[in-house]
Structure 1
Amino acid sequence: MTLKVLIVPVTPFEQNCSILICEETNRAAIVDPGGDIPKILDALNKSGATPEKILLTHGHIDHCAGAVALAKELNVEIEGPHKDEAFWLDQLPLQSQRFGFPKADAFAPNKWLDDEDVVSVGKVLLTVKHCPGHTPGHVVFYSPEDHLAIVGDVLFAGSIGRTDFPRGNHADLVGAIRGKLFPLGDNIAFVPGHGPMSTFGDERKNNPYVGDGAY
C-alpha cells in the first residue's frame, strides 16, 4: 500500500496539517487540524479522498483546536494522542485565550493511543510511537512501508521541539528522538509540525541538538 501526503499549513502558527491518503482505497486521515477548517476541507475535497478519521499528535492548540468541529463536519472519530496529553487538552480554553485563538473547548478523543499501537488509513498501517518531551503525551505516526513519519513537534529540520512548556522534558525528548525515531532508519522522511520535510538521516548528520555530532 502507498500513502499520499498533502500538507496544508493552518493557523497563524503555520502548522502543518497533513492529509494522509491510502492510494489503493482513497480513504484519508487528517492529522492535526489546528484550525482553518475551510482550507482543510477544500484540500480534502480537491483530493477526492473519503475521510475516515482524525489523528492527533498532541494537544497544543495549533495542532488540535479544529479537531472537534472537523470531526462533526465529516462524521468521523478522533484518535490520539496518548492519554498523558489530557493535561493539555483540558487546558484548551486557557490556551485559546493565551495565544489569541478562537475559543476552544476541552475534549477527549474517541480513542487514546499507546506506544506501538497500530492505526489504519484505508489499508495502510501506521505504528504509533509515544515520544514525550515536547508534551507528555505526544505521539508520532510511522508507516514502515512508505518510509514516512508524521512527527508533530518532536523534531524539525535542523531543530527540535520546545521543552520549556509545563511538563516538557528535554532529556525525554532527546531520548525519544535518538532512541525511538532515529533507529527506524536514515531513509525515513518525516513531516514536522512546522516547516519543511527532512529525513532522519539528514537530522542525524546535521541537527545541532540531536545529531550524532552532539553525542
Structure 2
Amino acid sequence: MSQIKVAVVPVTPFQQNCTILVCEATGKAAVVDPGGDVPLIRRAIEQTDASVEKILLTHGHADHAGGAADLRDALGVPIEGPHLGDKFLLDNLETAAKMFGFPCRDVAPDRWLDEGDQVSFGAIRLDVRHCPGHTPGSVVFINQPMQFCLVGDVLFQNSIGRADLPGGDYATLMRSIEQKLLTLDDGMTFISGHGPMSTIGAEKKNNPFLQK
C-alpha cells in the first residue's frame, strides 16, 4: 500500500493549513487549499522534492482558494474541487480579498467534484464526500486504507465550521458532520483547514458541538 507524506504550510493572515500530500511510492504530489503566500508554498514543495500533479480545493473561501490560480499558472497543473455549489465564491475571490487584506485571484477549477467522486495523484486515491453547511460546495477527501482525511473547515478539533457566512447553514453543516464524517472510523485522523489535527473518535468524545 502506498504511503502519504504530509507537509502542512500555514498561509494567509488566517493561518490556513495548506497541505502538501506526497505519494512516497512515486514522488507525485497534490497541494490542498493554497489560499495564498504562494512563494512560501512553492519553497515547501521544493523541500519535499516531489512533483506536483494537481491542486485540490475543499471549498471556495479566499483563505483556501485565493492562491490557487497563481499556483496553477506556476506549476501548469489542473485544479480539482470543490463542488459546483461554491462557484459564486470562486468567481468573487478578488472582491473578497479586499475585505481581508491579502491578494487573491478569481479561479475556475478544471474539474468540479461531487459525492462519490475520486481524485488521485501518484498511486494515491482519495474519496470525495460533499459536505455542505460551511459553504454550499464544501468537500472532504478521504483515504480509508490509511485512515486519513482532509476536512477543510467542516470540522475542527473541539469545534465546527462557521455557518454564518454567505451560503452557510447550521442545520446543513451538522447533518454533513453527522452523516459524512462521524460515520468514519474512530481512528480516522483528519487535517482541518485551521488548527491541529485530531481523530473522529476524539471529536465524538470531546467536541462540545457534537454532544447530544
The reply to whether TM is greater than 0.5 is yes
Runs (5+) with no aligned partner, structure 1: none
In 2, the alpha carbon distance for the partners of 1:91 and 1:163 equals: 19
2:61 matched to which residue of 1? 60
- Look up the equivalent residue of 1:134 and give its one-letter code: H
CA shift, 1:157, in A, is 0.4
**Alpha-carbon displacement from aligned partner over 1:148-194 (angstroms, at most 9, x marks no partner):** 01011000000000000111011111111111111111000000000
CA distance in 1, matches of 2:75, 2:192: 25
**Partner AA of 2:164 in structure 1:** D
TM-score (norm 1): 0.96
Which SS does the other structure have where 1:209 is aligned? helix
Q: 8 Å contact 2:157–2:207 — kept in the other structure? A: yes
CA–CA separation in structure 2 for the residues paired with 1:150 and 1:130: 12
Q: 1:186-213 CA deviation, whole Å, 9 max, x = no partner?
A: 0000000000000000000000002xxx
Residue type of the partner of 2:190?
A: F
Ranges in structure 2 where 5+ consecutive residues have no aligned partner: none
Q: Where does 1:133-148 land on structure 2 (aligned, <5 Å)?
A: 133-148=133-148
Q: Which runs of 4+ in 1 moved over 6 A?
A: none
Q: TM-score, normalised by structure 2?
A: 0.97
Secondary structure at the counterpart of residue 182 of structure 2: helix
In structure 1, C-alpha distance between the alignment counterparts of 2:6 and 2:145, rounded to whole Å:
14
Q: CA deviation at 1:105?
A: 3.1
* Deviation (angstroms), 1:9: 0.5
2:21 corresponding residue in structure 1: 20
Q: Give the corresponding residue for 1:4.
A: 5
Aligned to 2:48: 47
- 2:192 and 2:206 map into 1 onto residues whose CA distance is 16
The SS at the match of 2:183 is: helix
Q: Which residue of structure 2 aligns with residue 179 of structure 1?
A: 179
Aligned to 1:81: 82
SS at match of 1:39: helix
Give, as a single letter, the amino acid of the residue that structure 2 aligns with 1:46.
Q
Question: Over aligned residues, Cα RMSD in angstroms?
Answer: 0.8
Note if contact 2:69-2:106 (Cα within 8 Å) is conserved in structure 1.
no
Q: Does 1:37 align with 2:51?
A: no
CA contact (8 A) 1:54 1:67 kept: yes
What does residue 109 of structure 1 align with?
Answer: 109
Contact 1:116 1:128 in 2 (8 A): yes
